[in-house]
Amino acid sequence: MIVIPGPSSLGLGWRIAERCGVEPQPVEHRVFPDGESYIKFTKPVFGEKVVIVQTTAPNPDTRLMQLLLMARTAKDFGAKDIVAVVPYLAYARQDKRFTELEALSLDVIFSLLECSGVTDLVTVNIHNETSTRDVERKHRVRFHNLSAVPLLAEYLKKEGFDKAYSLSPDKGAIYIAEDASKVLEGGYNFFEKTRDRKTGEITMAVKDLNISGRRAVVFDDMISSGGTMAKAVEALMAQGAERVAAACTHVLYMPGTEEKIRKAGADPIIATNTIETPFSRVSVAGLIANKLKELE
Ligand code: R5P
């Protein structure tokens, strides 16, 4: 097996290679002044299973293009199998047509991966696994989705959140709160969230959760603008929670995100290293390496 840490996941790719017991093989890479990427492999890949680790944020379009260049180069030079490990997969939120005449972005991404030679796609907490499976069925790319939620919960358990109440910001993500509560053992629930598809504005219906004086954690797959997480944390603080943690797998870390969530009262804010940010407290290297060993 050859593990290539892509330009966006050098640290994580390196750690995954180590855990798989192989020498990491980074590529030669540059970005030209006009923004185009250049990629060159440093070792032959003929007849090998090639694992490319490349997350797709920040700069999703550039990172995706680099991923496609690496996959296609592996295919051109005779790799046997090409596994794309994309811990955070950009465009996954547009996994169906929500309104008429929209692009079905995730389907386009699968097509591009498939024609670049990718045989397997490994992601972590993709936005909606069920919708992604519908897209997968149209392609010859095997899709594997891993969950970092138990790891996040284990981390928080050691940080004083044992028996804390677990919440997901919407019903669709209830499985996340449920999985976390198996570790934290403090019960779980969800908020009723609606988002205006045109303006992006979020409204969140709050139930009486009876959490006065208790600790709680809001778990989500991702924090983007921070609006969802901030509203959920705010609602829990308003109901008298003693302390509320914000936990997610991916943080996109856009300007203003952190302030918004801190102002709502979250402490701490934690995430994994699917995208390296100051909130990366939990590593997914072992989780991914175990999956790769299973695929051998
Ligand atoms: C949406 O359903 C996701 O699970 C997240 O809740 C959402 O993407 C977070 O976005 P933002 O941080 O912009 O509210």
Residue 241 CA from chain centroid, whole number: 28
Q: Which pLDDT tens digit goes with each residue over 56-69?
A: 999 999 999 999 99
State what percent of residues in the chain have pLDDT above 90. 91
Q: CA dist 222 to 48, 72, 77, 154, Å?
A: 34, 29, 36, 18
pLDDT band, residue 221 (cuts 50/70/90): very high
Catalytic residue among 193, 231, 260, 291: 193
Average pLDDT over residues 265-292: 98
Q: Are residues 99 and 32 in the same domain?
A: yes
Q: Are residues 167 and 211 in the same domain?
A: yes
Asked if the model's pLDDT at residue 207 lies above 80, the reply is no
Q: Which pLDDT tens digit goes with each residue over 110-143?
A: 999 999 999 999 999 999 999 999 999 999 999 9
Asked whether 268 lines ligand 1 (CB < 6 A), one says: no
Q: Are residues 32 and 159 in the same domain?
A: no
Q: Which pLDDT tens digit goes with each residue over 81-119?
A: 999 999 999 999 999 999 999 999 999 999 999 999 999
Q: The pTM is what? A: 0.95
Asked whether 258 lines ligand 1 (CB < 6 A), one says: no
Q: CA 148, 117, 57, 33: dihedral to nearest 10 degrees? A: 160
- Give me the count of residues in the chain: 296
* Nearest atom in ligand 1 to 173's CA: 4
Instruction: Indicate the burial class of 217 (C-beta count within 10 angstroms; 0-12, 13-18, 19 or more).
Output: buried
The DSSP H or E segment spanning 243 is strand 243-251
Asked whether 224 lines ligand 1 (CB < 6 A), one says: yes
Tell me how far apart the alpha carbons of residues 169 and 235 are, in angstroms, rounded to a whole number. 11
| Averaged confidence pLDDT in the chain | 96
Q: 242: which 2 tokens?
A: 């003693």
**pLDDT value at residue 208:** 79
Q: 204: domain range?
A: 149-273
CA of 5 to the centre of ligand 1 (A): 28
**pLDDT value at residue 178:** 97
Asked whether 269 lines ligand 1 (CB < 6 A), one says: no
Q: Are residues 123 and 175 in the same domain?
A: no
Q: Are residues 134 and 196 in the same domain?
A: no
Asked if the model's pLDDT at residue 193 lies above 90, the reply is no
* Nearest atom in ligand 1 to 252's CA: 12
Average pLDDT over residues 28-38: 97
Q: Which residue has the higher pLDDT, 154 or 202?
A: 154
Secondary structure tally for the chain: helices H, strands E: 9, 15
Asked if the model's pLDDT at residue 200 lies above 90, the reply is no
Q: The CATH number of the domain where 157 resides is what?
A: 3.40.50.2020
Q: Are 36 and 77 in contact (CB under 8 A)?
A: no
Q: Are residues 8 and 47 in the same domain?
A: yes
Active site residue 293: no
Instruction: With respect to residue 180, please indicate whether it lies within any of the assigned structural domains.
Output: yes
Q: Are residues 18 and 87 in the same domain?
A: yes
